Structure 1
Amino acid sequence: MRRAVVRGGDDAAAGAGGGCGGGGAAAQRAVAGVVHHGVHGGGADGEQRGAAPVCGAGAEWISGASGESAAGVCGGGGGCSRGAGAPVVPESLPLGGRDARDGLGGVARQRRGAGGAERVLAGGAGAGAGEEAAVTDPIRVVDVSFRYGRHRALDGLSLSVPGGAICGLIGENGAGKSTTFGILAGWLRPGTGHAEVLGQSPLRLHRLRGAVGIMPQDADFPAAMPIVAELSHYARLQGAGAREARRMAEEALDRVGLADAKGRRGSELSHGMRKRVAFAQATLGSPRVVLLDEPTNGLDPRHARLVKDLIAGLAPAATVLISSHQLQDLQELCTHAAYIHGGRLLRAEALDVLTARNAEVHVRLVAPPDPGAMEAVAGALGAGGTARLAGEWLVCGHGGGMAVHDAVGCVTRALLEAGVGFVEVRPGGSLEASFLESTGGSGAGV
């Protein structure tokens, strides 16, 4: 049995000797009945990250290979043991399209979840410990604080994610993103406050067999085990029989473009292949909550596109929380976003509110227009229409009084008639600009 190894990251445990001294054990995995403790790569927040691909960490299970007890990290499910009752056979991963973004107004945004009920993304700017979301929200973090030694990684963080949403967790290096993931995964125990996933404490995710999938940023795999065997192992831990588990594993690998590589061992995988195997593991079966930490980091454009399409297909059947520095990817994928800074929540709303999608049209210009052209654009948007320059962008406001496609049509028509050249048009601004504005213009390392 190997002990967990902890290496200090960029901001890990300031004043704590460079190691991560916070509570919570390293993620663990079992391979062929032997417990391997996860290796912690540090990370920008000094968070605890399991080296193995983990799913629903914190469960206790009995290895089918040797009967050796382990603090398991599989398929959201523990409580597994050899010969334990009839297997539960999960359905295959739903790959249908997700709902279109709601065209809601300027207050806290709502989205219809898988069950049809309206959900509100709570914990926005000014949210306090007492402002808890409805218990039906699949992901909840309430007034959570966490320290690595003397370094406070989270400082009273409160956040809830509505059912069926794809929510981006956005912050600079050291903001606390991966610490938040570690707490939701059950790898870390909050110092104060509490978290819930599908109504359960993350420390008891074994009660939610197969319902929670987790992809850590730096997943690793057994050097000598074929990846199809490892994914089959995780499917067995969800309750599937041997034949069904093999089918689930092969389908998961096929979805990420690795059908021809199923016999490869962990030592034979490139970085990009490891990322795709980790994603396949996190979405094995039919998870209701999926946590993804930097899912497209290091992927080539073709496979990044593949993974993004698969993420989009998870909702609304699953609720997805994504941490990523690729804000353009998050703007494309997410229905909601939450900004965190210094371990605190700055803002959490639907993406259309954060980017003013329903109130503005942004046009990237070839050259600055003359005042007459800007007046023509503002006039085309009707009473209250505005047009202002922001660098190379022309920001055209219509206050939400027009449908998005109508506003885009009015702006582009006015620009063409005025002879103004442009290279890009998009409803609303960029997620990056919104985040930088919320953080006072900082954002190095986002």
Structure 2
Amino acid sequence: MSPAVRFQNVSRRFGSVRAVDGVSLDIEPGEFFALLGPSGSGKTTCLRLIAGFEQPDDGHIEIFGETAEGVPPYRRNVNTVFQDYALFPHMTVGENVAYGLMIKGVAKAEREAKAKDALALVKLAGYETRRTAQLSGGQRQRVALARALVNGPKVLLLDEPLGALDLKLREQMQEELKSLQTSLGITFVFVTHDQGEALSMANRVAIFNEGKIVQVGTPSDVYERPTTRFVADFVGSSNVLPPEFAIAHGGTASWTSLRPERVDVVPESATVAADYASARGTVSAVSYQGAVTRVTVVTEKLPLIATIPAGASLHKDERVMLVWPKSAMVAMGDGA
């Protein structure tokens, strides 16, 4: 079977800026795929290339085996949910959802029935006659989702659709989106700069930086086994150890990632097991973060961060020892 989306050495330039720079990528049918990266990294431009709102300067794009270059958005079997939802304020909820079907010439009774089904799918049954101004932010997000789904796309594109929601509602919608994608079985391509969103929802994640993909893998792959310093720093939090520090503490002579939650804080005089590494130092900061406490310790060579369960009694300027399994140090090649 052909990939749902295939990029082959795709580039897109805006003047002298290479927004997308030689990207090659396969997204499989039925996959929840996240494009993750900081602002300006190229992820949204890639989404727009799939949608047809942009055309590549170089390379080749396929959607389910069909060439996409030069094909206008309305002829692609994809739909987009935008960050600002782009709902029509003068239309009812039902009319918003059915708008795409109306443009396609679908009969009124059929499009109203399909709009009703789509709203039920996103838990808004009975909202057909309401105005969008009467809805909460989460409800507007669901209407935008229903409007995209009612056309039966083979690929659904989501451009940071949860960005305007508060934390609790965003977490709720993450669960609902993942559940919806699983039940529908269609390909979701989700753009976000939020690592938590990508890790919690996606089957696979592509990490973007400066127009290029720097790593692709499952959420656990990119978190547990980052291949570059950028990925280690961007996806979660990491102690990035220089080669000389890593090899002195039982690792390899390469840039190395050590996640703070793998580091424990113990008394300076504690005994260390053979399969553990250690470093003594002075506590420079203690930050209570609810379920955990973040502790920064300045060792002889460099500052290290440990994330430990909340409740530990630690104080600034206290002498401690950090310990961690040697196996928790992940080599990152050249560490670029």
TM-score between the two structures when normalised by the length of structure 1? 0.49
Q: Deviations over 1:13-37 (max 9, x none)?
A: xxxxxxxxxxxxxxxxxxxxxxxxx
Q: 2:158 aligns with which of 282, 292, 296?
A: 292
Write the mapping of 1:79-118 to structure 2, written as runs, cut at 5 A: none
- Whose strand fraction is larger, Structure 1's or Structure 2's? 2
The answer as to 2:235 corresponding to 1:338 is: no
Give the structure 1 partner of residue 305 of structure 2: 391
Give the structure 2 partner of residue 143 of structure 1: 9
Write the mapping of 1:404-415 to structure 2, written as runs, cut at 5 A: none
Partner secondary structure for residue 217 of structure 1: coil
The answer as to 2:283 corresponding to 1:369 is: no
Q: Summarize the Cα distance change of 1:139–1:246 in structure 2 as closer, same or farther, 3 Å threshold.
A: same
The answer as to 2:264 corresponding to 1:350 is: no
* Cα distance in 1, alignment partners of residues 333 and 128 from structure 2: 45
Q: 1:272, 1:300 within 8 Å by CA — same for their partners in 2? A: no
Q: Deviation at 1:156?
A: 1.4
Q: Deviation at 1:332?
A: 0.9
* Cα distance in 1, alignment partners of residues 194 and 154 from structure 2: 24
* Cα distance in 2, alignment partners of residues 306 and 348 from structure 1: 26
- Whose helix fraction is larger, Structure 1's or Structure 2's? 2
* Cα distance in 2, alignment partners of residues 154 and 247 from structure 1: 41
Give the structure 1 partner of residue 314 of structure 2: none
Give the root-mean-square deviation of aligned CA atoms.
3.7
* Cα distance in 2, alignment partners of residues 253 and 438 from structure 1: 49
Give the structure 2 partner of residue 174 of structure 1: 40
* Cα distance in 1, alignment partners of residues 106 and 333 from structure 2: 46
Q: Summarize the Cα distance change of 1:192–1:364 in structure 2 as closer, same or farther, 3 Å threshold.
A: closer
* Cα distance in 2, alignment partners of residues 356 and 364 from structure 1: 11
Q: Deviation at 1:158?
A: 1.6
* Cα distance in 2, alignment partners of residues 293 and 268 from structure 1: 24
Write the mapping of 1:421-440 to structure 2, written as runs, cut at 5 A: none
Identity %: 26
Q: Summarize the Cα distance change of 1:184–1:252 in structure 2 as closer, same or farther, 3 Å threshold.
A: same
* Cα distance in 2, alignment partners of residues 347 and 320 from structure 1: 19
Q: Summarize the Cα distance change of 1:302–1:248 in structure 2 as closer, same or farther, 3 Å threshold.
A: farther
Q: Deviation at 1:439?
A: 12
Q: Summarize the Cα distance change of 1:388–1:310 in structure 2 as closer, same or farther, 3 Å threshold.
A: farther
Partner secondary structure for residue 368 of structure 1: strand
Q: Summarize the Cα distance change of 1:339–1:289 in structure 2 as closer, same or farther, 3 Å threshold.
A: same
Give the structure 1 partner of residue 144 of structure 2: 278
Give 5+ residue unaligned stretches, structure 2: 226-256, 280-303, 309-326
Give the structure 1 partner of residue 242 of structure 2: none
Q: Summarize the Cα distance change of 1:374–1:155 in structure 2 as closer, same or farther, 3 Å threshold.
A: same
Q: 1:252, 1:280 within 8 Å by CA — same for their partners in 2? A: yes
Q: Deviation at 1:141?
A: 1.4
Give the structure 1 partner of residue 64 of structure 2: 198
* Cα distance in 1, alignment partners of residues 271 and 110 from structure 2: 64
Q: 1:288, 1:317 within 8 Å by CA — same for their partners in 2? A: no
* Cα distance in 2, alignment partners of residues 216 and 170 from structure 1: 16
Give the structure 2 partner of residue 304 of structure 1: 170
Q: 1:256, 1:307 within 8 Å by CA — same for their partners in 2? A: no
Q: Summarize the Cα distance change of 1:225–1:181 in structure 2 as closer, same or farther, 3 Å threshold.
A: same
- Paired positions, count: 256
Q: Summarize the Cα distance change of 1:236–1:310 in structure 2 as closer, same or farther, 3 Å threshold.
A: farther
Q: Summarize the Cα distance change of 1:365–1:194 in structure 2 as closer, same or farther, 3 Å threshold.
A: closer
Give the structure 2 partner of residue 52 of structure 1: none
* Cα distance in 1, alignment partners of residues 169 and 109 from structure 2: 28
Q: Deviation at 1:226?
A: 0.8
Q: 1:323 aligns with which of 168, 176, 191?
A: 191
Q: 1:226, 1:262 within 8 Å by CA — same for their partners in 2? A: yes
Q: Deviation at 1:235?
A: 3.6
Write the letter of the residue equivalent to 2:62.
E
Write the letter of the residue equivalent to 2:44.
S
Give 5+ residue unaligned stretches, structure 1: 1-134, 379-385, 395-427, 442-446
Q: Summarize the Cα distance change of 1:159–1:332 in structure 2 as closer, same or farther, 3 Å threshold.
A: same
Write the letter of the residue equivalent to 1:292.
L
Write the letter of the residue equivalent to 2:190.
I
Q: Summarize the Cα distance change of 1:288–1:173 in structure 2 as closer, same or farther, 3 Å threshold.
A: same
